[in-house]
Amino acid sequence: MTTATFPTRVRVRTRSDMLRLRLWAWWHGYKLKPAVKGQAKPQAPDRARHVIRGWTPARIEAAGLLFGTGNVMPWSEDLAYQLCRSLSLGPSSKLVDLSAGPAGSAARLANQAEIEPMAATFSASLADVAAKYYGTAAPRLVRPKQPEGVLQRGRALAWREALHTTSAKAQMLMAARSLLVPGCPFSFMEFVCTKPASDTAIKAWKAIEPDFVPEPIEKFTDAFRGTGLDQKNIDDVTDLYLREVPPILQASRRHLEDMGAATSRAVSEALAAEAALAQARIDALESGAVKLIQFIGVGKHVNG
């Protein structure tokens, strides 16, 4: 790890200054040392100190700073294109995005593919918190077995990065399955483990996101098979993620370096944690301990 003093234009006087200092150092991979003799030595940033549980207002705001307003995960044009291509979506196609967060990904999909998305989520906490920040742009809360209030005929269903934090994968997939119009496609992207939970990269991820449930692909395929969908493809999209997401983080880091006091202490802490989680995921994917897999199926017709 590189050793460097913090830029001299920054003076560490308060706890908030220290948090921003640690965030800056984490962005660049620096180990901090005192800039002036006799100055209290700041501690090197420790990813294990960042712990994420659930969606708080500060975390949603921090995710929006990292990934763009309204987003709770990284989206790029190529990731959006991959989803649309895999579901055979074209202009004016209708899609329900179950991973919408505060509706940012739905907006990305609309701009990229000219489709008609609906932002939705199974997470009551995320929907409630997002509504406070984004009002009418916030996602609708989807409840199982109520498709008439959510979907219209001709709508596809997409879900991303939601099942790796629960052991109830089969139940959650069946809940999503109940919302799918017969004959329409369903896709979900998820992190699956190729190595034991004791693997160093997986443990580093779980230290930041304790709700992470490291499970092999068989757990997902068994749950997917249990939905009764006509299964079309199971694709490894890890390389696409690793090609698209690191540049998004790098661009965000450059943008955030000069924000200074523009963020509150709570958001600064959430920002550091969210960035640490994103990097832990990238590290696990690059190590081969985890892969991002896209599962694609089609709802069976009533008489089929």
DSSP secondary structure string for all residues of 193-218:
ESS-TTSHHHHHHHHH-TT----BHH
Cβ count near 241 (within 10 Å):
22
Confidence of residue 27 (pLDDT cuts 50, 70, 90): low
33, pLDDT greater than 90: no
Q: What angle do CA 211, 212, 214 make, to 5 degrees?
A: 140
Q: Could you report the per-residue pLDDT of 246-268, keeping only the tens digit for each? A: 988 887 777 666 555 556 788 88
Say if residue 144's pLDDT is above 50: yes
CA distance 197 to 207: 12
Q: What is the mean pLDDT of residues 130-140?
A: 83
Taking the model in full, what pTM does it have?
Answer: 0.79
40 confidence band (pLDDT: 50, 70, 90): very low
Rounded Cα distance between 99 and 57, Å, is: 17
Tell me how many helices (H) and strands (E) the chain has. Answer: 10, 9
Number of residues written out for the chain: 304
State the average pLDDT over residues 152-179: 86
For the record, the structure tokens of 227 come out as 């939905």
Q: How far is 90 from 116, CA to CA, in rounded Å?
A: 10
Helices (H), the chain: 15-28, 57-67, 77-86, 104-113, 124-134, 169-177, 200-208, 217-225, 238-256, 265-287
Cβ contact 201:284 at 8 Å: yes
* Amino acid letter, 65: L
Q: What is the pLDDT of residues 234-245, one digit of tens each?
A: 999 999 999 988
pLDDT band at 219 (very low <50, low <70, confident <90, very high): very high
pLDDT of residue 101: 81
Q: How confident is the model at residue 195 (pLDDT cuts 50, 70, 90)?
A: very high
Residue 48: name the closest of 287, 279, 268, 291 by CA: 279
Beta bridge partners of 141: 121
Output the six-digit token pair for 154.
Answer: 């001709």
In 3D space, the residue among 147, 226, 224, 227 whose CA is nearest the CA of residue 180 turns out to be 147
CB contact at 8 A, 183 and 154: no
> What share of the chain has pLDDT > 90, as a percent?
30
* 213 and 166 Cβ atoms separated by less than 8 Å: yes
Residue 262 per-residue DSSP state: G
- Mean pLDDT within 268-281: 90
Burial group, residue 133, by CB count within 10 angstroms (0-12, 13-18, 19+): middle
**Can you tell me whether residue 301 is helix, strand or coil?**
coil
Please determine, for residue 214, whether its predicted confidence score (pLDDT) is greater than 80: yes
**Residue 11 pLDDT greater than 60, yes or no:** no
Residue 76: which residues within 8 A CB-CB, separation 6 or more?
A: 244, 245, 248
Query: Can you give the pLDDT at residue 300?
Result: 77
* pLDDT of amino acid 297: 93
pLDDT given at position 176: 87
